[in-house]
Structure 1
Amino acid sequence: MTESPITGHPVRQGVAAGVSIGAAVLLLTAGVLSLLEGIAAVAKDDLFVAGPSYIYRMDITSWGWIHILVGALLIISAIALMTGALWARITAIGLAALSIISNFLWLPYYPLWSILIIALDIVVIWALATWNPDKR
């Protein structure tokens, strides 16, 4: 049985699909967590404590809406990523990077949660950037 150069070895294709689905699930998890973080910030401003001298200081409600927007975009991107399309991979990497930036700016308000989301986003970017189904 010969293999087409386009399709590659079946095991490689299975691993590539697994990495893609794994990254999509991690991105979906990060999106849901960001969405919940944003809802918590909008619903209850007194849940979060910020130091008085933070340079990127914004109203907690504004940060909440930013996290709701980023979380919703991450969820949509994760669902699109499950199709395996190249544009979905590129979009997912960009949105994960945006999520890292927004959570870095959110660090003084909720540090452990932000570090968790940043770590998830780093894993997603790594998985999507290293996945190459056509690599031999």
Structure 2
Amino acid sequence: MDKKSATCVLDRLQIALGVKNDSQLCEVTGTNRPTLGNWRSRNSVPYPLCVKVAVEYGLSLDWVLTGEGSMLRGVSAPPAEPLTANPQEEAILELFRSQGEAGKRGIQSAAEEKTRLMDVEQRLKDLTQALADTKLPA
């Protein structure tokens, strides 16, 4: 997907504003839900909204519109790091880098917990399958 598409721009706004879906984005920005839906379906980037949010939240307009550079205005992008092909990954890294030590520890803890839960779920799935296999008639 073109990282300059309306969908990508709106997804970056969601990430920057810490919201999980279009309804929450509408609440935070004061946008009507049908209007936001039209932007997505027509691939129409809401430039006035992007400028407003960038100014209010100290975001880099370049990042909001293209996904390139630092998410925050006035913060230079880290040098010599490999570029990722995934704008969501870039945004998550930018959010992580913008946190203090306590925030970084919280994010790391949440990610470790998520990984642990996924491992437990996979182990449970494997054990359930093994149990089902032992119950089959010979």
Using the size of structure 1 for normalisation, the TM-score is 0.25
Which structure has more relative contact order (CA 8 Å, sep 6+)? It is 1
Task: Tell me which structure has the larger Cα radius of gyration.
Answer: 2
The structure with more helix, counted as a fraction of residues: 1
Using the size of structure 2 for normalisation, the TM-score is 0.25
